Chains A and B, each alone.
Chain A
């Protein structure tokens, strides 16, 4: 019974392709076990590519011309060892096994280059033995594959490229410099502002009476001395005597109202008295160093003019 059901099922499901095979044949095949229950679809055999190895070998044997190496100049070799990659340690496993990644342009071209290099290295000694020259003597002029004009174009292009690179590098450097200069400027300004702020806060504190010490004054000077270590020779004597006097008189708060008035001490202090200056006889120093293009007077000038 089951068999009959299966057959009917197959009969219903079968497509036009099965027209070739009659039902009886199908039944036979099923009973033999060649066909399994269910929908059977005829599979197409995948197209096999022709690879007539024997034919190829025969053809090669017939075709081959046993010429001496001189005529052919052909070599089969692996590419030369990539010295740079070895040093850098970037040798891929693939490379060492001989597989080239065709997508990686640089690697691929380097592979071809190294293959050519290996050939050249092997072939040159052979050629030398056979006395075939490889170097063209300087006075041997002959037509080249590319015309001189073309080579000039090539050279021009290379020069242009180089110049472009140089220009871009210069521009980069300039930009960097400018940025750096700007940075430095900003830093210096910030530093100044900070110092000013610190000084102001310290002064305010002192004014308000929060701190007794006047340390912040010295601190500032110290800071200045520290930064201008190279200028220590110049500022060894510290601020000018004039500066000192003025600071004393005008700087850093304190009473200012009576600063221009004489006190007993300042009145009795005769150290600044110079007799010659007082009597107006310190002549040499105060002259302009003699007559320097002293202009003659009006009358003299008129007379000179008249004389002319």
Chain B
């Protein structure tokens, strides 16, 4: 049993965990130098999934702070002021539009660059398919795709992500163990984010969550504004996507309509009377003329039929009598 009251000379902070009612003595032998603070908040009109995603990010990042929802009426550079008040130097801001589209801003607040993304395929921590678990506030390993080094805009994004997502060493709320890894991969011109728990030393992993896909829209030189440094040519706004789909459907319907109309017209058309074919009469052969016979006498009734009839009736009679027992 550890004696919870003992303390060493180099202790700077003691962490007590109330949840399990165990007193844990934790010794920080270093000073927290890298003062990185991230403000995570959103605008109004977000749905439950976005809210959970925000919560998950706050859980994952012990160096994060939360704030109340921002009114959409305010211009974006108000965010900078909010960050200043909270003494944060990074910001993750979620913007929800039309209750359907979610945009994420990642920014280095006072002067630095900022980037706007469209967020898709959000899966939160609470999903039962994410079976991994990690310490709350443990420091993550960050894993980047080599494609991040190949282009300047990706390199900038890499730096931004590194500074935002990595937990500073000796942060008071952090745990000293490194037990999960965040991966950023580029596929299909989008950035895919995954969070895995390290189970064994041989690198067997289980997914913890959350997971999402970022589609880069623009990179700005300033924080939430300023000249555009990069615009993603492959990005198509969700409105555009929806519009194109609707137009496609409309085009298909129009085509069907047109085909129908053409068919109807064809039917109504006055049909040509084809000229008579000369060869029609080739195989017509008139029948031979027979001499007309005039019959003077009535024809004889055919006996066979009558005989048959007689026979039949006779048979019936016989059977009847037999049944009656007279024969």
Q: Specify which chain A residues have a CB less than 8 angstroms from the CB of B175 in the assembled complex.
A: 142
Q: Specify which chain A residues have a CB less than 8 angstroms from the CB of B134 in the assembled complex.
A: 144-145
Shortest Cβ distance from A96 into chain B, in angstroms?
Answer: 14
The interface centre, meaning the residue of A67, A73, A76, A144 with most chain B CB atoms within 10 A of its CB, is: A73
CB of A215 closer than 8 Å to a CB of B = no
Complex CA distance for A264 and B205, rounded to whole angstroms: 99
Q: Specify which chain A residues have a CB less than 8 angstroms from the CB of B147 in the assembled complex.
A: 98
Chain B proximity mask over A35-77: 1 for CB below 8 Å, otherwise 0: 0000000000000011111011101101111010011111111
Q: Specify which chain A residues have a CB less than 8 angstroms from the CB of B231 in the assembled complex.
A: 49-51
Which chain A residue has the least Cβ–Cβ distance from B166?
A72
CB of B128 closer than 8 Å to a CB of A = yes
Q: Specify which chain A residues have a CB less than 8 angstroms from the CB of B22 in the assembled complex.
A: 141
CB of A113 closer than 8 Å to a CB of B = yes
Complex CA distance for A117 and B2, rounded to whole angstroms: 35
* A106-154 interface (Cβ within 8 A of B): 108, 111-113, 115-121, 123-124, 127, 132-136, 139-146, 150-151, 153-154
Contact B194 A142 (CB under 8 A): no
Which chain B residue has the least Cβ–Cβ distance from A139?
B2
Contact A59 B229 (CB under 8 A): yes
Contact B144 A76 (CB under 8 A): yes
Given known contacts A71-B34, A71-B166, A76-B148, A63 and B178 CB-to-CB distance under 8 angstroms: no
Complex CA distance for A210 and B126, rounded to whole angstroms: 87
Shortest Cβ distance from B127 into chain A, in angstroms?
Answer: 9
Which chain A residue has the least Cβ–Cβ distance from B140?
A73
Contact B194 A133 (CB under 8 A): no
CB of B299 closer than 8 Å to a CB of A = no
Question: Which of A56, A63, A102, A112 makes the CB contact (< 8 A) with B112?
Answer: A63
Which chain A residue has the least Cβ–Cβ distance from B235?
A49
* B186-206 interface (Cβ within 8 A of A): 187-188, 190, 192, 194, 196, 198, 201, 203, 205
Complex CA distance for A253 and B228, rounded to whole angstroms: 111
Q: Specify which chain B residues have a CB less than 8 angstroms from the CB of A62 in the assembled complex.
A: 112
Contact A63 B159 (CB under 8 A): yes
Complex CA distance for A158 and B147, rounded to whole angstroms: 36
Q: How many residues of chain A have a CB within 8 Å of chain B?
A: 61
Question: Which of A70, A108, A134, A143 makes the CB contact (< 8 A) with B136?
Answer: A143
Shortest Cβ distance from B77 into chain A, in angstroms?
Answer: 18
Contact B143 A141 (CB under 8 A): no
Contact A74 B142 (CB under 8 A): yes
Contact A141 B20 (CB under 8 A): yes
CB of B232 closer than 8 Å to a CB of A = yes
Contact B135 A136 (CB under 8 A): yes
The stretch of B150-158, B270-278, B300-308 that contacts the partner chain: B150-158
Q: Specify which chain A residues have a CB less than 8 angstroms from the CB of B20 in the assembled complex.
A: 141-143
CB of A100 closer than 8 Å to a CB of B = yes
Complex CA distance for A92 and B178, rounded to whole angstroms: 34
Q: Specify which chain A residues have a CB less than 8 angstroms from the CB of B178 in the assembled complex.
A: 73, 123, 127, 132-134
CB of A78 closer than 8 Å to a CB of B = yes
Which chain A residue has the least Cβ–Cβ distance from B1?
A139
Shortest Cβ distance from A127 into chain B, in angstroms?
Answer: 6
Complex CA distance for A57 and B221, rounded to whole angstroms: 11
Complex CA distance for A133 and B29, rounded to whole angstroms: 14
Q: Specify which chain B residues have a CB less than 8 angstroms from the CB of A78 in the assembled complex.
A: 146
Contact B141 A123 (CB under 8 A): yes
Question: Which of B19, B162, B179, B228 makes the CB contact (< 8 A) with A74?
Answer: B162
Contact B141 A132 (CB under 8 A): no
Contact B205 A55 (CB under 8 A): no
Contact A154 B128 (CB under 8 A): yes
Which chain A residue has the least Cβ–Cβ distance from B149?
A76
Q: Specify which chain A residues have a CB less than 8 angstroms from the CB of B137 in the assembled complex.
A: 143
Q: Specify which chain B residues have a CB less than 8 angstroms from the CB of A51 in the assembled complex.
A: 153, 230-231
Complex CA distance for A158 and B132, rounded to whole angstroms: 12
Shortest Cβ distance from B215 into chain A, in angstroms?
Answer: 12
Contact A120 B205 (CB under 8 A): yes
* B201-246 interface (Cβ within 8 A of A): 201, 203, 205, 208, 218-219, 221, 227-233
Q: Specify which chain A residues have a CB less than 8 angstroms from the CB of B43 in the assembled complex.
A: none
| With A71-B34, A116-B183, A116-B194 already in contact, 4 other A-B pairs whose C-beta atoms are closer than 8 Å | A74-B144, A102-B187, A115-B145, A143-B135
Q: List 29 A-B contacts (CB under 8 A).
A: A49-B233, A51-B231, A52-B230, A56-B156, A57-B152, A59-B112, A60-B156, A63-B113, A63-B160, A72-B142, A74-B141, A76-B149, A78-B146, A98-B146, A102-B190, A112-B192, A112-B194, A119-B143, A120-B203, A134-B178, A136-B177, A140-B24, A143-B17, A143-B20, A145-B134, A146-B125, A146-B133, A151-B133, A158-B131
* Shortest Cβ-Cβ A-B pairs, 6 listed: A102-B188, A119-B143, A49-B233, A74-B142, A56-B152, A120-B203
B residues adjacent to A (C-beta < 8 A): 2, 15, 17, 19-20, 22, 24, 34, 59-60, 108, 112-113, 125-126, 128, 130-131, 133-137, 139-149, 152-153, 155-156, 158-160, 162-163, 166, 168-169, 175-179, 181, 183, 185, 187-188, 190, 192, 194, 196, 198, 201, 203, 205, 208, 218-219, 221, 227-233
